[in-house]
Amino acid sequence: MMIEKRYRWKSEQIRKHVAIVDGKQAPTKVLLNATYLHPYIRQWVKGNVWICDDRIVYVGPNKPKRLDSCEVVDCTNQMLVSGYIEPHAHPFQLYNPQTLAEYAAQFGTTTLINDNLFLFLQLSKKKAFSFLAAMEKQPVTMYWWCRLDPQTEMDGEEHFFSYKNMKSWLENDAVLQVGELTGWPRLLEGDDFILHWMQEAKKIGKKVEGHFPGASDRTLTKMKLFGADADHEAMTGSDVHKRLMQGYTVSLRHSSIRPDLPTLLKEMKQCGIHHYDHCMFTTDGSTPAFYENGMIDEMIRIALQEGVPEIEAYRMATWNVARYYNIDHLHGSITPGRIAHINILEHASNPTPISVLASGQWVKRDGVPVHAFSTMEWDVHGLAPLLLPWDLQMDDLQFSMPLGMYMENSVIIKPYSISMDTSADELSTDHDESFLMLIDRNGKWRVNTVLKGFATHVQALVSSYSNTGDIILIGKSKRDLLLAFKRMKQIGGGIVLCEQGEVIHEIPLPLGGLMSAKPMSELMQQEKALGKLLRERGYTFADPIYTLLFLSSTHLPYVRITPKGIYDVMHKTVLFPTIMR
C-alpha cells in the first residue's frame, strides 16, 4: 500500500481552487485582516488568507467575491504563522502517534516526522502501512523515517531488514528519510547494507539523518561522504559549529534527557554563529511530562528569550524544516498551494497559539480544544492488549551471573563484577544493586543479571515497554517481581511497581504492551507519579522511561542487555548469551 502525498489534490480539486480565485466559487474559510509571517522575504505582511478545505488558495489584499457558506474570521491585531514542524519525533514513548498528534496540535505543532522503528519491529508490513494510511486521515500531517538498523542485538534482524521490506518502506511517499543512523559504526567498518540504502534514499531525493554524538571532524567528514545530511546530536555550540562547517543541517535539541537549547544558543553566539538557515528545533521523542509546557512552541519561546531574532526563531520551526525535507510546496509558509496548517497568535512574542488550523480544520479555537480527530481502531492495526500465554516462575529468577551492569549515568552502562550472594529472595536496601531480567515476550528465553546504580529501595518494577518489546524486570524482591509481572499480564501490558506484596503504581499500556491509549494529560500524571515514587526509592537519573528504553540500546556504551544476551557494545560481542526456558 502506497501513501500518496506527491499528488495530494486531484485535478478536479485543483480546478475548484482556481475557480475560487476567479470568483466563481466560494472558499470554505477566510482569515481577514491578518498579519502573517512571510519566510521568503523575512517580513510580517498584512493580507487576507483564503482556504478551501485543507488548502490555502489565495493570500493577498483581496477579499473573495463569493462568501456563500464561507466561515469568515477577523484576525485584526493577531499574528499568523505556519504550523510548526517537529522534524524528529519518536511517537511511541508511552504515548501513541494519535495522542501525541492531538496534544501537539494544541500547541501549534501540526506536522510530525516520525521514527518508524516500533512499527517496523512490532507489526507486519501490511499492518504498519494500514496504520500509516489511517493516520493520513487525521488533521495533523504525519511523515515517517525508515530505519536501517534495530538499535539493539536481535535474532532475525535480516528478516525485518530484508530487501523487500526496506524497498517498500523507502518508496512509501510518507517516508522522507532513512535513519536515524544509530548503527553508523557498522557503516564505517564496511557494512554495505547501510550504504546501499543511504544511496537509494539519495537517488529518490530523500534525506539521510545521522546520530553522531561526540563525533570528531574526521568522522563527520566521512559520514558526509557516505551521504548523511543532518544530525541532532550536537551537545555544545562547538558541536553545532563543527556540523555546520561540514555542511550539515543541525537539529537543535531540547529533550527530557538533553534539555540543551539555552546552552546551545548561547554557545553558538560565542562561536560566531548568527545565522540560522540550516538549523531547526527538535524535542527528540521526549517522555510525556516534558511536554507539559508545549512542544516546538516552547523551543521558539526559549530561542526568543536567548535573543534569537523573532523571524529566525519562527523559521527554524517551520520554513527551515520544510525546505530541508523538500516539502516546502506543502508546508512551512502561509502562501498559495500549501496545506492549511496555520497558527493564530495573540502576539509574536508568545508562540503558543490561541487558535490552530490543521489541514484547514479548527483543532483549537480561542484557547479551547476542538475535537477534530477521528477515533483510531487500534486492534485493526494489530495493536491489541498484550496476551502472554505463559507464566513467570520462581525458577526463572536465578541470578548466578558473574557479570553485572553498572549505570554510571542516564546513558552510560559499564560492566562490573558481581560479588554479593544473589541466591536470596530479597536483596538488601543498604546498596544500589537490583535484580535485572530481560525475558522474551513469547517466553522462549531470558537474560538474568544484576543492575547497579538504578535504585536502593525499588522492590519490583516490571515493564513491557522496552526498546525490543520484551519484558524488563528490575527490583530487590523476587516475590514482588513475580507479583508485578502477574499484574502486568492482567492489564494487557504496562509498567507496574510493587512493594511488600502490593501494587503501588501502574501505567497500563494496552496498545501492544508498549503504548497507552489515554490522552496525554492523563498519561503525564501517571508518568510523573511513577517518577516521584522511583525517586523516593533511590532512583537518581533524569528519566526512568528512557532508562527502560536504553537498557537494550546498543548505540550507547558500554554493555547492554539484549535478546542475544549481555552485549559488549565496543567489541560487538555477546559476553553471556540468553538462556532458553
Cα-Cα end-to-end distance for the chain: 39
pLDDT in tens, 73-96: 999 999 999 999 999 999 999 999
Q: Give 5's pLDDT tier (boundaries 50, 70, 90).
A: low
Identity of the amino acid at 187: L
Provide the grid cell at 221: 567528514
Sorted by sequence, the CB contacts under 8 Å of residue 71 that are 6+ apart come out as 28, 29, 30
pLDDT in tens, 19-28: 999 999 999 9
For the cut 70, the answer to whether the pLDDT of residue 4 exceeds it is no
- Work out the percent of the chain whose per-residue pLDDT is above 90: 96
For the chain, give the number of residues: 581
Sorted by sequence, the CB contacts under 8 Å of residue 9 that are 6+ apart come out as 17, 55
pLDDT in tens, 193-251: 999 999 999 999 999 999 999 999 999 999 999 999 999 999 999 999 999 999 999 99
Beta strand extents in 227-327 (DSSP E only): 230-231, 249-253, 279-282
pLDDT reported for residue 156: 82
CA 477 – CA 458 distance, rounded (Å): 8
For the cut 70, the answer to whether the pLDDT of residue 6 exceeds it is no
pLDDT reported for residue 2: 45
* Closest C-alpha among 330, 319, 328, 326 to residue 359: 330
Q: Give 155's pLDDT tier (boundaries 50, 70, 90).
A: confident
CA 47 – CA 60 distance, rounded (Å): 5
pLDDT reported for residue 227: 98
CA 364 – CA 107 distance, rounded (Å): 9
CA 89 – CA 93 distance, rounded (Å): 10
**Does the predicted model carry a pTM greater than 0.85?**
yes
What is the torsional sign of CA 517, 523, 526, 528? positive
* Closest C-alpha among 45, 73, 75, 72 to residue 60: 45
Do 554 and 560 touch, CB atoms closer than 8 A?
A: yes
Q: What sections of 65-124 are H helices per DSSP?
A: 97-106, 117-122
* Location of C-alpha cell 511517499: 173
pLDDT in tens, 286-312: 999 999 999 999 999 999 999 999 999
Do 103 and 140 touch, CB atoms closer than 8 A?
A: no
pLDDT reported for residue 158: 87
Q: What sections of 204-284 are H helices per DSSP?
A: 217-226, 237-245, 261-270
Average predicted confidence (pLDDT) for the chain: 96
Q: What sections of 61-124 are H helices per DSSP?
A: 97-106, 117-122
Do 207 and 201 touch, CB atoms closer than 8 A?
A: yes
Mean pLDDT computed over 123-140: 95
- C-alpha separations of 247 from 82, 225, 228, 527 in Å: 26, 11, 10, 39
Q: What totals of helices (H) and strands (E) does the chain contain, helices first?
A: 17, 29
Characterize 263-280 residue by residue with b for buried, 16 or more Cβ atoms within 10 angstroms of its Cβ, and e for exposed. ebbebbeebebeebebbb
Topology annotation, domain 81-381: TIM Barrel (3.20.20)
For the cut 80, the answer to whether the pLDDT of residue 356 exceeds it is yes
Q: Using DSSP bridges, classify how beta strands 355-358 and 361-365 pair: parallel, antiparallel or unpaired.
A: antiparallel
Mean pLDDT computed over 43-63: 98
Q: What are phi and psi of 532, to 5 degrees?
A: -65, -45
Q: Give 3's pLDDT tier (boundaries 50, 70, 90).
A: very low
Beta strand extents in 260-366 (DSSP E only): 279-282, 342-345, 355-358, 361-365
Sorted by sequence, the CB contacts under 8 Å of residue 158 that are 6+ apart come out as none
CA 238 – CA 214 distance, rounded (Å): 11
Do 550 and 258 touch, CB atoms closer than 8 A?
A: no
Mean pLDDT computed over 553-579: 95
State how far Cα 514 lies from the chain centre: 14
- C-alpha separations of 365 from 88, 159, 323 in Å: 27, 47, 29
Q: What are phi and psi of 38, to 5 degrees?
A: -110, 105
pLDDT reported for residue 1: 43
Sorted by where each begins, the domain ranges of the chain are 81-381, 394-580
Do 230 and 250 touch, CB atoms closer than 8 A?
A: yes
